[in-house]
Structure 1
Amino acid sequence: MYNSGQKLDWQAVAPPPDTKPPAPLTMRAQSLPPRSYFPEHAHDWGQLVYAISGVLTVTIVGRSFVISPEQAVWLPSGIIHRVGSLLGAEFRSLWIASEAGVGFPREPTVHAVGPLLKALIAETVDLRSNENDRGYAGRVTDLILDQLRRAAPIPAALQWPQGEVLAGLCAALYADPADARSAEEWARELGMSSRTLTRRFEAEIGMSLRSWRRRMRLFKAVELLGGGMDVTSVALELGYGSPSAFIYAFRTEMGMPPQAYMNRAS
């Protein structure tokens, strides 16, 4: 996603200068502008990558995926990674000391983030300005660690290609999900045959461009609905012919209509 051919499009962001190793937990809060990223790095402790709003792209060796505010990525210590945002995000990251992460997954894992964990993460940010109440801060920390140990891995992240050409294609579709160009049209745009595009996309992502686009639109729908956009506006933003067509597609994939999904998430 951040290959040399895209350096003019993406801007590296420096981490906050006052960060210290977690003891046992440290919260980092930072706004990521559109097309910005933290360069490749690793930590001597675990990290929970999360955004309270906007969408993050997380890249580790051999994998790239996008997460919404309903998801977070657990990264064990020593994992080389980079994190960025195509459209901008309110980045929240939990650094967790190795001794406090006993029982956590040993591999990078995507977790669902429910209302309680969201609230606890928000509370942790507020606690940084009130260090006098250490007893309360400790109880919040213990609750967060318990929530993370109980969190079940999910396959809900949106897969993202690592190659420059396909990453550019996916970024264009994500920025304009109503773009209706076919695989053949995109292949001509990218200077390759449709067969080559299909083969490369399935090799990198594990699904067809059509399937990925359908999944991307639903992923984007959750992001827009979570930001307060109404169902009709979301349907138009995503390129559906009518709100009813969007509701049908959402219910078919998610098992419930959009409003019910958002009510449950709330």
Structure 2
Amino acid sequence: MNWKTITAPPDVLPPSPMTMRVQSIPVRHYFAEHTHEWNQLVYAISGVLMVAADGQSFAISPDQAAWIPPGSVHSVGSFLGAEYHSLWLADSPGGVLSRRGVTIFGVSPLLRALIVEAAAVHEAPDTDGYFGRVYQLILDQLRRIRPISSVLAWPTSAPLLRLCETLYSNPADSRGPDEWGMELGMSGRTLARRFFAETGLTLRTWRRRLKSFRAIELLENGFDVTSAALELGYSSTSAFVYAFRSEMQCSPLAYMRTRGSFV
């Protein structure tokens, strides 16, 4: 199945002070590479986004967002579909984001709630300045963000893209570098070296992080913990819970409790 391009609406105005873009991204759809003259916050209330920006390629979960500064060439899509929330901001919030380029950061419960609220009221007339106050609170939150390194980096070469898309579709696939090397026409050692060069992760670490991302999608779509563990290829529910806790610093059930009012 090929990826399909989403055409951006032609009548969206530059932010003054903030423009919201809210829409569902279907399976394997994406916005093609483009740039803006303003700041952008890329986020999904549910689902995982695939983001490519300034030579980087990565996936972000609903606990993460991407900051795209003006002039950065970027594209955004989703492998399995996502509820996309894009914020265009007229002002730079300052803080860490004013000193960095493309940045991935954790989304606090308060920032998530503010994004949800902004989406709910952004088309209504701002007669009493409420939307402006929400905007200022979002800027306040962005000044306090901390960049994170635990993103799911995505490769760029065709063979490794094929590998990663296969594992994303079937995270229970247990083939290692040697088996995948035979599939892709290279030695296991060459595959391991190229994979690390393109993602900064070993295939084993990448696969573990992938399963955490896919677990979030499964849990949000109604899977219970046992069913998610089986779908992801874990030998037992306890093995899944241990791996999820190691990656996310909480159990799957605790994670879903914190997400309950937003999914």
Q: TM (normalized to structure 2)?
A: 0.91
Q: Secondary structure at the match of 2:147?
A: coil
Q: Tell me if 1:54 matches 2:72.
A: no
Aligned to 1:19: 12
Identity percentage of aligned residues: 56
CA pair 82-131 structure 1, distance change in 2 beyond 3 A: same
Aligned to 1:107: 101
Given the alignment, which residue of 122, 126, 144 partners 1:128? 122
Distance 2:249 2:19 in 1: 37
Q: Does structure 2 conserve the Cα–Cα contact (< 8 Å) formed by 1:24 and 1:100?
A: no
- Name the amino acid aligned to 1:31: S
Aligned to 2:153: 159
Aligned to 2:234: 240
- Name the amino acid aligned to 1:43: H
Aligned to 2:188: 194
Q: CA deviation at 1:219?
A: 2.3
Q: Secondary structure at the match of 2:112?
A: helix
Q: Tell me if 1:181 matches 2:175.
A: yes
Aligned to 1:10: 3
CA pair 92-254 structure 1, distance change in 2 beyond 3 A: closer
User: Structure 2, unaligned stretches of length 5 or more?
Assistant: none
Given the alignment, which residue of 110, 131, 148 partners 1:137? 131
Given the alignment, which residue of 134, 138, 142 partners 1:148? 142
Q: Tell me if 1:116 matches 2:127.
A: no
Q: CA deviation at 1:112?
A: 1.0
Distance 1:228 1:151 in 2: 30
Q: Secondary structure at the match of 1:124?
A: helix
Q: Does structure 2 conserve the Cα–Cα contact (< 8 Å) formed by 1:60 and 1:82?
A: yes
Distance 2:218 2:138 in 1: 27
Q: CA deviation at 1:265?
A: 5.1
Distance 2:246 2:43 in 1: 28
Distance 1:255 1:89 in 2: 23
Q: Secondary structure at the match of 1:101?
A: coil
Q: Tell me if 1:94 matches 2:87.
A: yes
Q: Secondary structure at the match of 2:101?
A: coil
CA shift digits 1:17-50 (9 cap, x unpaired)? 3210001111011221111111111100000001
- Name the amino acid aligned to 1:157: V
Q: Does structure 1 conserve the Cα–Cα contact (< 8 Å) formed by 2:54 and 2:102?
A: no
Q: CA deviation at 1:256?
A: 3.7
Q: Tell me if 1:28 matches 2:11.
A: no
Q: Tell me if 1:224 matches 2:218.
A: yes
CA pair 170-141 structure 1, distance change in 2 beyond 3 A: same
Q: Does structure 2 conserve the Cα–Cα contact (< 8 Å) formed by 1:221 and 1:238?
A: yes
Structure 1 range deviating more: 34-43 or 219-228: 219-228
CA pair 21-256 structure 1, distance change in 2 beyond 3 A: closer
Q: CA deviation at 1:102?
A: 3.8
Runs of 4+ in 1 over 6 A off after TM superposition: none
- Name the amino acid aligned to 2:102: P
Q: CA deviation at 1:134?
A: 4.2
- Name the amino acid aligned to 1:101: P
Q: Secondary structure at the match of 2:129?
A: helix
Distance 1:256 1:53 in 2: 18
Q: Does structure 1 conserve the Cα–Cα contact (< 8 Å) formed by 2:177 and 2:189?
A: no
What number of residue pairs does the alignment pair up?
258
Q: Secondary structure at the match of 2:142?
A: helix
